[in-house]
Amino acid sequence: MNAYRILLAPWIATPRSTRWLLVAASTLLVVTAVLVAILGHPAHPWLLGAIVLGLGNGLWWALVMPNGLLLVLAARRLALPGITRDVVLGMLLYAILWIAVPMLLHLPSGHVLAFAVVQILVAAAAMLYMLLPAYLGILFCLLPVLQRVVALPAIEDPRFVFRGGALALVLLLLLVWRWHQLLHGEIHATRWRTPTLINLRRNFRREQGDPLTDIAALRNRPAWLTARVDLRGVGARAPVKSLRVALGGAYLPQTMAGRLYRLIPAVLALLVAALFLFVITMGDVDPSQLPHYLFSRDGFPIEGWMFAVLSLVVPMATIELLLLRWGRVNAELPLLALLPGLSGGGDIKRVLLRTAVQRPAAWLVLLLLLGWLLAAGLGFGWPVALAMLAVALGCLAYLCAMLLGIFGGTPLSSFGRGLLMAVLFVLLSLTVVLPVLWQDWSAPAVARTHAALGVSWLALASFLLWFGHRGWSGLRRRPHPFMPN
Amino acid sequence: MDASLLTVQPAAPEPIYRQIVEQLRRLIAGGQLVAGELLPSVREVAGFHAINPMTVSRAYGLAESEGLLERLRGKGMVVASTRRSSQSASHRLSLLEPQMQALVRHAGELELPSELVLRRLASLLNK
Amino acid sequence: MNAVLGESGLGAPPLAARGLTHCYEGSNVLCGIDLELAPGSVLGLIGRNGAGKSTLIRAMLGLLEPLSGAACVFGEPALKLSDAAKARLAYVPQQPEALAWLSAQQMLDYVGRFYARWDKAFAKNALQRWEIPANKVMAKLSPGERQRVDLIRALASQPELLVLDEPAAALDPVARRELLREIALRAGEAGATVLFSTHIVSDLERVASEVAFLHRGKLLMRCSVDETKERYGRLRLPARFASFAPAQSLSRRRHDDGGLSLVVERDTQGQWPEAASLEGARVDALGLEDLFVEIAE
């Protein structure tokens, strides 16, 4: 029984890249909670502290402790002794640290039990969310409804301790049961039935550039959802279409039936989201008022922001796909490099660039037209239209620069990519939203933001230009573009 | 003749073409291959045993030069009808050389007196 | 560059490399490799893991830019192959993962449209004979089935030059035998040139006409398979004659009792070195695997 190992177990079980982040976040929240409790709001110091600590609790029990389950599963598979015991003891220890110790500190305030109940509820719910299959985890979105269903009284109410305590007990029992079920059952491969924890791990691995996950995704897709490829006319005479087949993913030319089938999950998701919204608001919002709200000038900033986000998603997804393709040595690259007649007699580099840019550019144009339509319909003038155009052009420039980098052998590192994307996200969102808000601002403020925006766009444009040029010269130097990076 | 009559051991220290020639020699000497019998084509043997056709044609060529086989135009390789008596005895004796060397070496390792070995050899040859 | 490595046209060797050097993450993967294949030959490339076999093959086909040196396919520079040269060449990488979102039938259909000499019947028959589900998405096939589908793709284009990187790694013995049979028949009748890299030495001994040893990025030896058995042997010298060991040997190993094991080759007259005739010395024939193990250790 090694106390050191028990303490260390959750640390080891968390993925390396998030370890420090989680510990830092949790520590910050704990410190804040303590400070708030000591110095805070005179009326309800302990409540605020409880909420902040609850946040930390939730974070810790959602993102760190459930990894213990993965550790236990791995230990069972490898027949390693002692790990299960250590992990369980670790959980008890951390439960004491996170719940019992703050409880003791709150003794003087007189609301100890309520405080403890809140923490236990948060911790149990967070961990349960991670361990439940994804389709049940989605139901957690309906938590606001809980208030009406369970009739939980307010926190100060003495009855809260009993009702809340009962609920906490139920959650704990569910947790123990689910833990046992996962230990002794199997973890399903399909997205919806796996615990959210594992989904998170899988998505996380993909972001790290692990190429296996996209093949695993293909393997687990049910047959009716797989792409139906349209191979008509493919060959040396149709270089763009042939290249699209080889690039796969969103580029794949699909039959009409295939496209319609692939739309079904998106439609279902929309329906489910609408249903949830309805349940949550449950009569508070009049549905007939909805179009009025959506298409009002007040609602436009949100929609404009969504336009910016969607416009950014288009190049982002394209770039991720191409990075995957150009990252693997045994996959499409040697096939494309040695396929005779792929260029159809033209320059294969130009054909490749054309193919890679065509579809995303079409989507960007479509989004732009929709945006303009909305703006015009709501009566916004040319500043907003110009802003939307800038967003579309910015996304296009981003796409082209990154493509040249990938094909030219000078791609951006993953850290650089993340940074650039964050910058773009902020800049594009601001570009669309600010012109709307400007209407209510004073002239000097508008002028200042004008200047700031202009400078930022200039900086971005020059960076993209430099980066694109570097990629372009790399591409020119390469004998053919199908070399791995 | 069928290609399966030959066995090929790729891992043996002897090159495959020599193994084939050896086996052909034994089959002919043992009577399982009669004079004038058609041998399978190079392609058949190579395909059956999954070996390089050049090896098979080298083996056939070597066997032809040793007088075991002869080439019939239009049909392929057949077992030579003219017996080996056309070849000199000394040439044929040289073909036996490796086995005799091996016998001598074994006898030396077992520390057998040469008269014992020669007596047994004589009795075997006279059978 | 063309003049150095051979004119394009009928006289050019199907595959040639001169002075290929390549570095990867700081270490030398290829160190000045010269290799040339004769038309109609079957060359087996053998080497330890990490010796650089895959890198060499990719560099020779123009799939990566080497640090220095050049490679030629049918006399054309490998980095800028014409469509005509590409149509005569087929390459199967190790653990092929290409086009995992297509089914086997679709992939063969797609690839077949680019080759003039595509044998559709062969592709269909091979899929049936090897019982590969033709309409299942390739991501769902096992690694062995993926390998076989990619092999079918390569063979159906009826190439003059077939390059295979560890083709038998994922195949069971029956499948391996069939693959070797295909290679043997194509090399024979169609006169195709084959280059394949492998760990499985018995496959090499069966079907290869030549073997090349790659060790730590250098080409240690290159000769015909028959020659390795006839020309090389292991000389065992007892301790008292250890000093008589020939100076030239491919490898040298000292035993605990003081004796020496050397890999020696016959000289131009076909004689073993003089030390072989000493009392207590012995020359054993070496199989290809033993030869490789002795040299590559």
- How do residues A245-293 score in pLDDT, each as one tens digit? 999 888 888 888 888 887 887 888 888 888 877 776 665 666 666 666 6
Give the pLDDT score at C5: 45
**Residue A352 neighbours by CB under 8 Å, 6+ apart:** A243, A407, A481
Give the pLDDT score at C1: 40
Neighbours of C168 (CB within 10 A): 20
Tell me the nearest-neighbour CA distance from C185 into chain B, angstroms: 6
A213 pLDDT above the threshold of 60? no
Six-digit token pair at A415? Answer: 């850290």
Identify the contact set of chain C against chain A, taking CB-CB distances under 8 A: 58, 61-65, 79-81, 83-84, 86-87, 89-91, 93-102, 106, 109-111, 113-115, 137, 139-140
- What gap in Å lies between CA A202 and CA A199, rounded to an integer? 5
Sheet holding C76-77, edge to edge: C27-37, C15-24, C68-73, C76-77
Q: How far is CA A298 from the centre of its chain?
A: 27
A442 pLDDT above the threshold of 50? yes
Same domain membership, residue B36 and residue B56: yes
Neighbours of C16 (CB within 10 A): 21
* Element spanning C213, H or E: strand C210-215
Same domain membership, residue B92 and residue B80: no
Query: Would you call B5 helix, strand, or coil by DSSP?
Result: helix
Closest of A79, A78, A55, A64 to residue A7, by C-alpha: A64
Is there contact between A and C if contact means ≥3 C-beta pairs under 8 Å?
Answer: yes
Residue C118 in any domain: the answer is no
Same domain membership, residue B13 and residue B27: yes
Give the pLDDT score at A153: 62
- Domain holding C254, by residue range, is 227-296
Half-sphere exposure of C212 toward its Cβ, with a 13 Å CA cutoff? 23
* Element spanning C42, H or E: strand C42-47
A422 pLDDT above the threshold of 60? yes
Give the pLDDT score at A144: 63
Same domain membership, residue B72 and residue B100: no
Total structural domains in chain B? 2
Residue C63 in any domain: the answer is no
Same domain membership, residue B70 and residue B28: yes
- Residue A471 buriedness (CB in 10 A; 0-12 / 13-18 / 19+): buried
User: Residue C92: phi, psi to the nearest 5?
Assistant: -120, 110
Closest of A453, A422, A423, A421 to residue A435, by C-alpha: A453
Work out the widest C-alpha separation in chain B, in whole angstroms. 55
pLDDT tier at A195 (50, 70, 90 boundaries)?
low
Tell me the nearest-neighbour CA distance from C60 into chain B, angstroms: 24
List Cα–Cα distances, A211 to A225, A360, C272, in angstroms: 21, 22, 54
Give the pLDDT score at C280: 79
Q: What is the pLDDT of residues A468-477, one digit of tens each?
A: 999 999 999 9
pLDDT tier at A361 (50, 70, 90 boundaries)?
very high
Same domain membership, residue B64 and residue B28: yes
**From B44, which residue of chain C is nearest by alpha-carbon distance?**
C185
Q: How far is CA C49 from the centre of its chain?
A: 14
Closest of C227, C237, C232, C223 to residue C274, by C-alpha: C237
Give the pLDDT score at A266: 81
Same domain membership, residue B98 and residue B37: no
Same domain membership, residue B107 and residue B67: no
- Domain holding B79, by residue range, is 3-84
Give the pLDDT score at C92: 95
Q: At what angle do helices B42-49 and C173-185 cross, to 10 degrees?
A: 160
Kindly provide the b/e burial profile for residues A31-58, where b requires at least 16 CB atoms within 10 angstroms of the residue's own CB: ebbbebbeebeeeebbbbbbebbbbbbb
Give the pLDDT score at A362: 95
Q: What is the pLDDT of residues A382-401, one digit of tens each?
A: 888 888 999 999 999 999 99
Give the pLDDT score at A201: 65
Same domain membership, residue B109 and residue B92: yes
- What gap in Å lies between CA A184 and CA A163, rounded to an integer? 32
8 A C-beta contact, residue C169 and residue C252: no
Closest of A470, A463, A464 to residue A408, by C-alpha: A470
Neighbours of A223 (CB within 10 A): 9
**From A342, which residue of chain C is nearest by alpha-carbon distance?**
C114
pLDDT tier at A294 (50, 70, 90 boundaries)?
low
Considering just the CA atoms, what is the radius of gyration of chain A in Å? 27
Chain B within 8 Å of C124 (Cβ-Cβ)? no
Give the pLDDT score at A36: 73
DSSP C189: I
A353 pLDDT above the threshold of 90? yes
Give the pLDDT score at A378: 81
Give the pLDDT score at A472: 94
User: Residue C76: phi, psi to the nearest 5?
Assistant: -100, 150
Q: Which residues of chain C have pLDDT under 50?
A: 1-8
Give the pLDDT score at C65: 92
User: Residue A297: phi, psi to the nearest 5?
Assistant: -65, -25
**From C177, which residue of chain B is nearest by alpha-carbon distance?**
B50
| CATH number, residue B30 | 1.10.10.10
- Better-predicted residue by pLDDT, A418 or A346: A418
Residues facing residue C162 across a β-bridge: C90, C194
**From B109, which residue of chain C is nearest by alpha-carbon distance?**
C280
Same domain membership, residue B47 and residue B22: yes
Residue C198 in any domain: the answer is no
- What gap in Å lies between CA C164 and CA C155, rounded to an integer? 11
Residue C253 in any domain: the answer is yes
Six-digit token pair at A421? Answer: 């994307």
Give the pLDDT score at C2: 41
pLDDT tier at A59 (50, 70, 90 boundaries)?
confident
Kindly provide the b/e burial profile for residues A445-469, where b requires at least 16 CB atoms within 10 angstroms of the residue's own CB: ebeebeeebeeeeeebeeebeebbe
Tell me the nearest-neighbour CA distance from C188 into chain A, angstroms: 25
A346 pLDDT above the threshold of 60? yes
Closest of A249, A130, A226 to residue A187, by C-alpha: A130
Same domain membership, residue B68 and residue B122: no
Cβ <8 Å between C181 and B42: no
- What gap in Å lies between CA B16 and CA B21, rounded to an integer? 9
Sheet holding C193-198, edge to edge: C89-92, C161-165, C193-198, C42-47, C210-215, C218-224
A209 pLDDT above the threshold of 50? no
Find where tokens 């070399």 sit: A483
Cβ <8 Å between A215 and C97: yes
Chain B positions touching C185 (Cβ under 8 A) are 43, 46-47, 53
Give the pLDDT score at C211: 92
Give the pLDDT score at A289: 67
Percent pLDDT > 90 in chain A is 19
Q: What is the pLDDT of residues A139-172, one digit of tens each?
A: 777 766 666 666 666 666 677 778 778 888 888 8
Chain B positions touching C266 (Cβ under 8 A) are none
> Which residues, numbered 320 to 349 in chain A, qualify as contacts with chain C under a Cβ-Cβ cut-off of 8 Å?
328-335, 337-342
**Residue C68 neighbours by CB under 8 Å, 6+ apart:** C19, C20, C21
- What gap in Å lies between CA C146 and CA A218, rounded to an integer? 15
Give the pLDDT score at C222: 87
Global pTM value: 0.79
Could you tell me the end-to-end alpha-carbon distance of chain B, in angstroms, rounded to an integer? 30
- What gap in Å lies between CA A200 and CA A214, rounded to an integer? 14
Total structural domains in chain C? 1
Cβ <8 Å between B14 and C229: yes
Q: Which residues of chain B have pLDDT under 50?
A: none
Percentages helix, strand, coil for chain B, rounded to the nearest 5?
A: 60, 5, 35
Same domain membership, residue B107 and residue B59: no
Give the pLDDT score at A44: 63
Q: What is the pLDDT of residues C117-158, one digit of tens each?
A: 999 999 999 999 999 999 888 988 998 999 999 999 999 999
Closest of A74, A321, A70 to residue A197, by C-alpha: A70
Percentages helix, strand, coil for chain C, rounded to the nearest 5?
A: 35, 30, 35
User: Residue C30: phi, psi to the nearest 5?
Assistant: -130, 135
Q: How far is CA C286 from the centre of its chain?
A: 20
- What gap in Å lies between CA B17 and CA B114, rounded to an integer? 34
- What gap in Å lies between CA A437 and CA A447, rounded to an integer? 13
Residue C140 in any domain: the answer is no
